[in-house]
Amino acid sequence: MPQLELRRNGGWTAEVPPGEPIAVYLVDDVPGLREMVRIGMEEDPGFTVVGEAGDGRTALQGITEARPDAVLLDLSMPDIDGFAAIPEIRLRCPDAAIIVLSGFSVDRMGARVLERGADSYIEKGTPIQDLREATRDAVAARRRLG
């Protein structure tokens, strides 16, 4: 099992080999937040958003079909919440990096989501460049496992 880390702000350095952009799937029940994250991620040519969902059930179906490199996942959502979705995502798409992007503090939920199978935990409000770096780091770590 890889060493997992809680992420707050800044300080990530990881190299993802050049080539295809990192395919990201966004899961959050707030459409405006998904739009902001999508725009922020796609400002960097190293990322492409391959799907979005506003609830866990729709996300599980979309992630299974899209097979993304990374999932940015909120915890608090209708239907199936992010906490319950983590092990199911891991089963359906074991190579995907799961980055929880949540409004809950890392102190409150970080360790719990890592125990469920997430790769890292980012608090909402973290600068987009740090979110991109954390995503690259998590994807690079997953690729090293493969």
CA angle 118, 15, 132 (to 5 degrees): 55
User: With the C-alpha atoms ordered 82, 57, 59, 86, is the resulting torsion angle positive or negative?
Assistant: positive
Q: Which two tokens stand for residue 101?
A: 């992007």
DSSP run (H or E) holding 27: strand 22-27
Model pLDDT for residues 15-73, shown as the tens digit of each residue: 445 678 999 999 999 999 999 999 999 999 999 999 999 999 999 999 999 999 999 99
Model pLDDT for residues 36-48, shown as the tens digit of each residue: 999 999 999 999 9
Question: SS3 for 129?
Answer: helix
Predicted pLDDT at 117: 94
What total number of domains does the chain contain? 1
Is the residue at 113 inside a domain? Answer: yes
Task: With cut-offs at 50, 70 and 90, classify the pLDDT of residue 106.
Answer: confident
Is the residue at 15 inside a domain? Answer: no
DSSP track, 108-128:
HHHHHHHHHT-SEEEETT--H
Predicted pLDDT at 18: 60
Predicted pLDDT at 104: 85
Domain span at residue 59 reads 22-145
Q: Which two tokens stand for residue 118?
A: 């997430």
CATH number for the domain harbouring residue 26: 3.40.50.2300
Residue range 95-109: average pLDDT?
91
State the pTM of this model: 0.86
Is the residue at 119 inside a domain? Answer: yes
